[in-house]
Amino acid sequence: MRKTLALLSLLLFTGAAWAEPLRITALGDSLVQGYGLPQGQGLVPQLERWMIENGAEVTLQNAGVSGDTTAGGAERAEWTLSDNPDGLIVLLGGNDMLRGLDPQEARGNLGQILQTAQDKGIAVLLIGMKAPRNYGPEYKQDFDAIYPELAAEYDAVLHPDAFAGIAAEAGNDPAAAQGFMQDDGIHPNARGVALNAAAIGPAALQLVAAIGH
């Protein structure tokens, strides 16, 4: 009888442990932090809701800092991962690009973040940014290449464009795209975030699968 109760207790404890949602930290800039948006409408809460609605048991932690560059993210990566989350989402590089910083510097900083996660055995989803054409073809080529190259090097899940949801909805119409942006023309509004979160969602589910392995 005692053995049976002990076995049942063990099974219940194990089941409860399995039921714990995965903890995923999102490291990034204002796009992650939720700049200019009502509470609950930023990328982190909207992506968390999308993932849960699509069968994932997760909680997303917001480690976004407005104005952060890849250098800032690299400086706080170790501290951000000190609680050993199950997974990491990285969305950085937009501020580097807006300041016209050297793509190789951004690549090195992002590589440092991915290396920190890899050393801790934490699976990563890397979300890319696309440089606008007015920076020139060479800058755009070098900047856009950062994300797929690093994802391949560090075996990270890749979502190539943080604004893919808006781009798919608006097509090549800049006026239509502005309808999903805040007045500054840089940050998405709540509707734009919803589109981007849904576009990121399948890659986020790949991250969950990678954690499971």
Residues 113-138: pLDDT tens digits? 999 999 999 999 999 999 999 999 99
Give the number of other CB atoms < 10 A from CB of residue 76: 14
For residue 146, pLDDT over 80 is answered with: yes
Q: What are phi and psi of 120, to 5 degrees?
A: -95, 0
* Domain extents in the chain: 22-212
For residue 92, pLDDT over 60 is answered with: yes
For residue 88, pLDDT over 70 is answered with: yes
- If we measure between CA atoms, which residue out of 115, 68, 116 comes closest to residue 92? 68
For residue 4, pLDDT over 70 is answered with: no
89 - beta bridge partners? Answer: 26, 125
Q: Of the residues 29, 86, 159, 187, which is catalytic?
A: 187
pLDDT band at residue 43 using 50, 70 and 90 as cut-offs = very high
Instruction: Give the fold, CATH level 3, of 22-212.
Output: Rossmann fold (3.40.50)
For residue 38, pLDDT over 80 is answered with: yes
Q: Of the residues 82, 83, 184, 213, which is catalytic?
A: 184
User: What is the share, in percent, of the chain residues with pLDDT greater than 90?
Assistant: 87
Spatial contact of 29 and 42, defined as CB atoms under 8 Å apart: no
Both tokens of 178, joined, read 């502005």
For residue 3, pLDDT over 60 is answered with: no
What span, in angstroms and rounded, lies between the C-alpha atoms of 24 and 80? 11
Residue 66 is among the residues annotated as catalytic for this protein: no
> How would you write the chain as a 3-class SS string?
CHHHHHHHHHHHHHHHHHHCCEEEEEEECHHHHCCCCCCCCCHHHHHHHHHHHCCCCEEEEEEECCCCCHHHHHHHHHHHCCCCCCEEEEECCHHHHHCCCCHHHHHHHHHHHHHHHHHCCCEEEEECCCCCHHHCHHHHHHHHHHHHHHHHHHCCEEECCCCHHHHHHHCCCHHHHHCCECCCCCCECHHHHHHHHHHHHHHHHHHHHHHHC
Residues 109-127 as b/e (b if ≥16 CB within 10 A, e otherwise) read bbbbbbebbeeeebbbbbb
Q: Of the residues 30, 68, 86, 159, which is catalytic?
A: 30
What span, in angstroms and rounded, lies between the C-alpha atoms of 165 and 188? 11
What's at 64, amino acid-wise? G
Residue 82 is among the residues annotated as catalytic for this protein: no
The pLDDT, as a whole number, for residue 201 is 98
The single residue listed with the structure tokens 């997974």 is: 87
pLDDT tens sequence across 155-189: 999 999 999 999 999 997 889 999 999 999 999 99
For residue 75, pLDDT over 80 is answered with: yes
Residue 173 is among the residues annotated as catalytic for this protein: no
Query: What is the average pLDDT value for the chain, to the nearest integer?
Result: 92
When mean pLDDT is compared across 7-11, 50-54, 56-60, the lowest value belongs to: 7-11
For residue 11, pLDDT over 90 is answered with: no
The pLDDT, as a whole number, for residue 172 is 77
When mean pLDDT is compared across 1-10, 86-95, 191-200, the lowest value belongs to: 1-10
